Every structure is written in C-alpha cells, then in structure tokens.
Amino acid sequence: MRGIPVIGNLGSPRIRRVVATAVTLAAAASLTACGSSGPSTTSSAKGLTMWALNDQTILKESVDAYNKDHPDAKITLRLFANDDYKQKLRVAFGANQAPDLFFSWGGGALNDYVKAGKVDALTASEVNSDRYTPSVMQSATFDQKVYGVPVNGLAPVVLYYNKKVLADAGVEPPKTYDDLLAAVKKLKAKDVVPLSLAANSKWPTLMYLEYLLDRTGGSRVFTNIAAGDASAWTDPSVTEANQKLQDLAKAGAFGENASSVNYDQGSSTALLYTGKAAMEVMGTWEYANIAKAAPDLLKNGDLGYTAFPALTDGAGSPANIVGNPSNFLSLNSSSKHKSEALGYLKDYILNDSQIDAYLAAGSVPPVKGLDAKLAAVKSTSDKEWLTFVYDLVDQAPSFQLSWDQALPSDQADPLLTNTDQSFLRQIAPAEFGTNMSKAGS
C-alpha cells in the first residue's frame, strides 16, 4: 500500500489498503479524553485544511478545481504515505491539531473518532449523500447517521492472472479452491511463482484469510465479529480458513521469498506483469497500476481477472466479495470552516468531471446510475474491466469491509501480527482465533 509513486494510468489513485499501525488502548483513551476542547490548530485563517494519502491523484484534482474557484480561501492539502498516516492522524486529533477534512477507510477506525465526538454527522441535503451506492455508505454510517463522503472508486479484491503464463502451464483460471491447489502444482513445475504475494506488508496476506473465512463460514462469521462478538473468532470456520491459508503456503503457492516482498516497492505487481508469477490476489486499484507499468499486457489481451475461487463445500456464497467499498472524507467537529467544507464535499467530490476521471483511470466510482457512462467508454479492455467490477459489486450478496478497517483500531495490529504468524505457520490454525478472541475481549 504505501509510499511508492502512483503507477496508475492517467494518474489514477491507488486505493490501497493500509497496514494498521500499532495504536494502543492508551492512545484511544487520550483521543476520547481530549474531546472537542478546541479547534484544530492546523486550520488556516482563510481556508480549509485537508489530509489525504499521496496516491490520491484524482482527489487532488478536486482540490485544485476548488482552489481555482476560491483563490482567496484555498484548501491546504497535506499528503501522507499510507504506513504512518493512521497514527499521525490519531496523534493530531489527540493534540487538537487535526485538519478540517480528513481521509479514512470508514469502519471501526472512523467510528473511534465518531464515538470520541471528533466528527460531524452529514445530512443528505448538505452533501447529496443519497446519490451514492447504499452498500458503500454503510461503512461510514453509525447509529443511522452518515459521517463521511466517498471519494474514490469501488475496490473489491479480485484474482488477477497472466493469461500467457497460465496457458504455457496448461492451467485454466481457478474457479474453486481445489482448482487453485491443482494450479499451484502445475505452475511450480514450470518454475513460476503461482501467486504473487507481498507478505512483508502483511495486509495482502489478510486478503486471503478474509476470502477463505467468507467462503468457508459465510459472511455471518465476520459480521458477528465486527459487531463486537469476540467469541466468534473461535468459530470452527476461522480455524478452517487458517488451515487453508497454511495449506496454500505449504504447497508453495507464494514462492520462497514472499516475506521479503513489500507491496509499496511494486515488486508483487511486477512479478505478475513480467510473467514471473501467474496470479495475484489484490484490490481493483491494481488494474490501473498494471495498465501504466505494462500497457502491452492489456493491449495484447493477456491480463485476466476473475472472482476469488469458491469452496464447493463452503457455506459462503461464491458471489460474496471483500475489500474496500470506498475511502471517505469526514468533517472535523472542531473545524472553523464547516460551511466551506460542506460546499466542497457537495460540489467537488465525485462530481461529473471526477466520475469521468475515475472511469478513465479504470476505477468505478460508488455513484448510482453509471450505466450510460460505462456504455460510453471507448477502450474495449477498459469497458470490460469496468463492467466486470460494476457487476461484481452489483451482484454481490455481501461486500465485506477489510478486517483491519472494520475492526476498532486497537485490534488491527494484533490482527495483522497473527495473520502473518499464521501464514508463516508459526502458530497452529486454531491459535489464530484464540489469540484474536483475547485481543477483542
């Protein structure tokens, strides 16, 4: 997720996930204790301040457009690398130095700020929130109030594959977990890494565990966990999902050096488009990254993509998806410039030009009524990709927010640590659930 230059076509955003930093209960307590005792000291006397990630290129374009229209009260935008953003934001709020508008992933981390009284609720009339996809808005809705506006594209996690590499190994895109294991065996025999994985970053490994649990036990298991039922971590399907992850690792699915591969360095992406790896499980932002880094792969029709494999004996629907419904901008309750902030959120976020920019970058924005715009996309490969993503989300019975965003901040670090330990087979499959049950209690 973090820190490398944007490599999406037309400057597309990499709507990447965040490795949650270690946020202690003491830090959370200090956040609440600070309350709303004073306005943000980062607020400009004349204009808004805003924090986001340094890969949000199209979002930055909306700021540029606003500043052009408001030369005497511009938005001061500060951009951060993913790795340390969450902790910097939490420290800033604790010190009453947070920006007027801040970027987040929704879910439990945003709800921490809501509970602490740090974020203003937003009404439909203030920000036109009723034009956004309802399932996406759930990640920023708490107690039936909306606390964020989506600012970028839908980002379900999918399985990418290099068609040429699979064909050379006599492998079809896997439709089931058993197909995947069989493909691993054939690809290894061809000295190809079956699945490119940046395990050093930890969050890419979590994507496998999220899907394996959903496919095994259905969406209800993590729904219960996210609702605060720590005992649900000991559900047998959690152990089974970890066993399947370990079985993949033991079979050599991720090669021999996955733990040394970091996503922000672009290494895992490059393995796929250079043909050194056959497949990669990653969010939809990867399409734009590959389109810029290896345009011939798309031009030649060699990039394939499909849903994560099903489990023939699992309780979860094969149409379920996991990932990031969108990222959000939220309003600091201590802002001195609330009227200006609401104007920006209403008129400059995912407006018509922003929608066009995201579609041109290979990303589907979470806005209703996109059929006509999708039909008008000129590039055949882009139209196929955008329609695939649109239909994937539209037909999904469940769109599960990534665990390290859905859970409270104090559980994110133990989650990533235990995921990595499970992947490395340093803990038994059942220990994962036991450890996370303790962390969530």
Choose the most confident range, by mean pLDDT, from 53-62, 238-247, 355-364: 238-247
How far is 34 from 284, CA to CA, in rounded Å? 38
Mean residue pLDDT across the chain: 88
Give the start-end residues of each E strand in 95-249.
101-104, 141-142, 145-146, 149-150, 155-162, 193-196
Q: Are strands 49-53 and 101-104 parallel, antiparallel or unpaired?
A: parallel
How far is 198 from 203, CA to CA, in rounded Å? 8
How far is 303 from 301, CA to CA, in rounded Å? 6
133-180 per-position pLDDT tens digit: 888 898 899 999 999 999 999 999 999 999 999 999 999 999 999 999
Q: What local confidence, expressed as pLDDT, does residue 27 receive?
A: 34
Residue 17 pLDDT > 80, yes or no? no
pLDDT band at 55 (very low <50, low <70, confident <90, very high): confident
pLDDT band at 417 (very low <50, low <70, confident <90, very high): very high
Domains and CATH numbers, the chain: 9-152+325-368 (3.40.190.10), 155-322+400-440 (3.40.190.10)
More confident residue, 134 or 367: 367
pTM of the model: 0.78
